[in-house]
Amino acid sequence: MEANRSRLLTTARPYLEVFSILGLTPPPLFFARTLHKRRRHCLMAGYFSFSFAILLMVIYECYANIVALHQEIHDFHVEDFSKVMGRTQKVLVVAMSTCNLLNMMFNFRRLGRIYEDIADLEHEIDNAWKGFSGRRNWWSFRFRLAFSVGLWMVLIVGLIPRFTLSGLGPYLHWANKVFTEIFLVMHQFKGLEYCLSVLLIYELILRVRHILEQVHVELEDCNCGERIQELCVALKRNQLLVGRLWKLVGEISVYFTISMMLLFLFNGLTILHIVNWALIKSINPNDCCQYMRVGTNLLLLSTIFMSCFYSELCIKAYNSIPRILHQIGGLTAAEGYPMLKMGLREYSLQMQHLRLDFNCGGFFNINLKYFGGMMITILGYIIILVQFKIPVLAQTKYRVGMNISEMTT
């Protein structure tokens, strides 16, 4: 793999291995340059067969969950859109697994190019840094990944079964419950895989920006024409690196387009499904799952928030580059050397045209603004859901009260 020449990919490799065990992404071993072509094809065939077996299990568990849902709906006499919403939410699990398998098969080469570009960019950034004597002050990338991805993986594995196991209902066999929990965790991990890719881009942007800051520092006190020419070359090199980073973000966005669209749709619909059943079961005074449902909703929202937050963090780091260019343009060295002034103008024009966005095929951008809009949409649907449920809940409580009074008399 490109990890052999990239410290960033080497650090990310344990997380990629976990994702590959769950059938979310091809193992890093498949992208090793030393791997023989014939052996690679055999390993790919074996892994895609393993992923297909997981898909068949997902389909079976979807069927088992739909059967259990119908039995529970029959018990509570809620033959309204609860059946449609529940079916759709469970079929989406199959759609996510199917699309993820097809995405791995048809975008395998694209993922390999993404790893190659990350390794090449890291190598070129390290070479560009050799001409500067300043010290790089950033957190350890390994620590950031452990805090941002590793810790969140532990929380998902620990909290999802605790919050959702009791909500699967009494009609689902315990073995089906175990596999259902595994698949729920697996699909939330797809969001973490996206976050891992965004954090790799974020680290590269931080390093490119730090080099640009060093160019600014040296230009402040530089009067040597030869050194200024070297800094002009470094500025142009930095500009080319930023352009390649922008292109790499586009490749990552294309790779995760369908996966993230389905993940956001699934989490949003699951939240509405949970709220719907919370309203249905609110007539039961002995229901002890209300707090569990709140915890599940917060966990699902947190997965969406993390994806949007890290994307926003990356975009802000990228958008801070024009500010540094403006500061360099205000130096006296920029006024006295036309070549430097021209390079700054060209760099600024590039930053104006190459706006960084993590988008899903043009349907929406993954950032905090989209997260806020999604929150408003979910709250709007919850309000509509509550308005439709209030008359049904009132009738149900009235029937329960009548039955209790008849039994006492």
Amino acid in position 311: S
Q: Residue 3 has what pLDDT?
A: 47
**Tokens standing for residue 16:** 């990629």
pLDDT in tens, the chain (409 residues): 554 568 899 999 999 999 999 999 999 888 887 777 888 889 899 999 999 999 999 999 999 888 888 887 777 666 666 788 888 888 999 999 999 999 999 999 999 999 999 999 999 998 888 766 655 554 588 888 998 899 999 999 998 888 888 777 777 888 888 898 999 999 999 999 999 999 999 999 999 999 998 888 888 777 676 777 888 888 899 999 999 999 999 999 999 999 999 999 999 999 988 888 777 776 655 555 667 778 888 999 999 999 999 999 999 999 999 999 988 888 777 677 788 888 889 999 999 999 999 988 778 889 999 899 989 988 988 888 777 766 665 555 545 444 444 444 4
- Cβ–Cβ under 8 Å, residues 199 and 310: yes
Q: Residue 126 has what pLDDT?
A: 87
**Tokens standing for residue 28:** 């890093």
Amino acid in position 398: Y
Q: Residue 408 has what pLDDT?
A: 47
Round to whole Å and give the CA distance between 274 and 288: 14
**Tokens standing for residue 194:** 């996206």
Tell whether the torsion through CA atoms of 332, 335, 337 and 341 is positive or negative: positive
- In terms of C-beta density within 10 A (0-12 exposed, 13-18 middle, 19 or more buried), how is residue 297 classed? buried
Q: Residue 114 has what pLDDT?
A: 94
Round to whole Å and give the CA distance between 260 and 361: 10
Q: Residue 402 has what pLDDT?
A: 47
Q: Residue 405 has what pLDDT?
A: 46
- Cβ–Cβ under 8 Å, residues 328 and 344: yes
**Tokens standing for residue 230:** 């070297």
- Cβ–Cβ under 8 Å, residues 343 and 235: yes
**Tokens standing for residue 264:** 């956001």
- Cβ–Cβ under 8 Å, residues 23 and 207: no
Q: Which of 51, 195, 200 has its CA nearest to residue 115?
A: 200
Name 350's Cβ contacts closer than 8 Å, sequence gap at least 6.
239, 242, 243
Round to whole Å and give the CA distance between 273 and 250: 33
Q: What's the chain's Rg over C-alpha atoms?
A: 26
